[in-house]
A and B are shown apart, each in its own frame.
Chain A
């Protein structure tokens, strides 16, 4: 399979079908893991989210007299990504609201998923995090067998207690046996998704990798728990939807800047926002807010980087 370059996708020489087809392949893995961990409940959550995303897009296409394409897989990707960041026991109206909000505020007004400056799934999740905080961060569903019961790693980090990990705990965490978002808990799977991305769209990995690096650096310098540097980094990266956001939200082609250096800076800015909000904010999961903020800063960073070579040229003259 030939890897896509970002220029190709920006110039629309590559069909969105292939781009979002890749995302669907990536999303299938955490979905199967969620099914195995929580039974049939994730299927209901994901179906509602996808259905609402498709129907709201269809409705707005009718209102705005645009052509609705059944082949447009972006709605399915938006719905699935939102659902997989939510807990399995969430009331069904929450994924429905998140999907509708994502489509009508972050996708449709900007002319579609290939043009939007904001990641729609991040917008949808951020909206429900604010509106339904209790439901979105309630991980009690089917959590009796989990490592910490109904407590998530994010909640543990917020308390700032002393933590010591052993080999069993580490395996539990990276395999997703901790209460948390139903499809974003397994670190191994997220790493596999990033590897898949490496083979399909190499340039899209720049932002996620710089994001993860900055998050790790922040966790090492300013740990939230009384533990070793490794434990702090490991727990921060494994908690919430951080790795999921790196693989699925930060690699979004439309919302990313064009230049490689800007992608790296954008990912770094996103990481800085995410970790700062985790440290000082009241929300357990802040990565979607950070992604949206980084999306907003992306054009500024891009234009600042574009000015740099001209300054050098001026200095040479």
Chain B
């Protein structure tokens, strides 16, 4: 991948079009289990964001030459090495009271699939700067989903936002359960796909989100190539049976001339000029 990618390109791809939670369905476990309120969702987001940036930058800076089979466990070990002391510090040295689900799912954030996927697919193949951009974009995308889901679940399930009561007539206990989160994520994914298909239609192929394809370069037909083809045709008695790009099969000299004419090249004129 070239280093000419701007932050905007990386951000749009990482945070919106290929959102790690809504499109790649990575890191679903912590979202479903722990993002039941704004507070827990914000904490998860902060941890995921910081950890993703740190591991991606380290991977891009130091792990490019390490074999792949070693790299994969290294991402997870680095993540745990970064997260566990922070968790220990919060538990023992601060007054922040983490809930049981947070104690379980914050360490799980360290080894979630978002980190492994983005380190392996992007960070180790690009510069540190681009790896940082990508990690930040993916972190922002994931955090936005965490927080939005947390707010919705807290509002619908407990009639509060950030612990403050909100007057709504009915609360849905089911929204605090995992299936409530999956329903919200399903609708959010549908909304995102609808947005992407309108704003970035080049990423949608037959209704499915795909990586943007680079336009195949057209075969360049130069004077030399035409001459070479002519020489080949003269020297060999066998008809040419090569497939050219575009699926047209070329056989005899007449067919070659016809094909070149269809491309706007007149071989007779070229010969006269010579």
Chain A residues within 8 Å of B, Cβ to Cβ:
93, 97, 105, 109, 127, 130-133
Contact = CB atoms under 8 A, between A and B. Distances in A.
A97 B190 CA distance: 21
A160 B190 CA distance: 46
Interface centre among A97, A130, A133 (most CB of B within 10 A): A130
Contacts of B177: 130
A93 to B, nearest CB: 6
A97 to B, nearest CB: 7
Contacts of B173: 130-133
A131 B186 CA distance: 19
B183 A97 contact: no
Secondary structure dominating the interface of A? helix
Q: Which 5 A-B pairs have the closest CB atoms?
A: A130-B174, A131-B174, A131-B172, A131-B173, A93-B170
B-side interface size class: 10 to 19
A93 B175 CA distance: 17
20 contacts: A93-B169, A93-B170, A97-B170, A97-B172, A105-B183, A105-B186, A109-B186, A109-B190, A127-B172, A127-B174, A130-B173, A130-B174, A130-B177, A130-B179, A131-B172, A131-B173, A131-B174, A131-B175, A132-B173, A133-B173
B136 to A, nearest CB: 32
A92 to B, nearest CB: 11
Interface string B153-176: 000000000000000011011110
A306 B216 CA distance: 41
A93 B170 CA distance: 8
A300 B165 CA distance: 44
A127 B179 CA distance: 10
A93 B172 CA distance: 12
A190 B173 CA distance: 32
A101 to B, nearest CB: 9
Q: Which of B174, B179, B183, B190 has the most CB of A within 10 A?
A: B174
A129 to B, nearest CB: 9
Interface in B131-170: 169-170
Nearest to B183: A105
Contacts, number: 20
Contacts of A127: 172, 174
A130 B175 CA distance: 9
Contacts of A93: 169-170
Contacts of B183: 105
A131 B177 CA distance: 10
B228 to A, nearest CB: 52
Contacts of A131: 172-175
A97 B172 CA distance: 10
A154 B172 CA distance: 24
Interface string B178-221: 01000100100010000000000000000000000000000000
Nearest to A127: B174
A52 B39 CA distance: 34
B152 to A, nearest CB: 15
Contacts of A105: 183, 186
A212 to B, nearest CB: 28
B253 to A, nearest CB: 50
A131 B176 CA distance: 10
A131 B190 CA distance: 24
B195 to A, nearest CB: 14
Contacts of B172: 97, 127, 131
A108 to B, nearest CB: 10
Nearest to A64: B194
A271 B169 CA distance: 37
Contacts of A97: 170, 172
A132 B172 CA distance: 8
Given A97-B172, A109-B190, 4 more contacts: A93-B169, A105-B183, A127-B172, A130-B177
> Which of B169, B172, B179 has the most CB atoms of chain A within a 10 A radius of its CB?
B172
Nearest to B169: A93
A97 B169 CA distance: 12
Interface in B4-34: none
Contacts of B190: 109
A109 B187 CA distance: 9
Nearest to B171: A131
B90 to A, nearest CB: 33
A99 B177 CA distance: 20
A196 B177 CA distance: 39
Interface centre among B170, B177, B179 (most CB of A within 10 A): B170
A285 B190 CA distance: 32
Contacts of A133: 173
A162 to B, nearest CB: 35
Contacts of A130: 173-174, 177, 179
Nearest to A133: B173
A133 B186 CA distance: 24
Contacts of B170: 93, 97
B167 to A, nearest CB: 15
A127 B186 CA distance: 16
A112 to B, nearest CB: 16
A105 B172 CA distance: 15
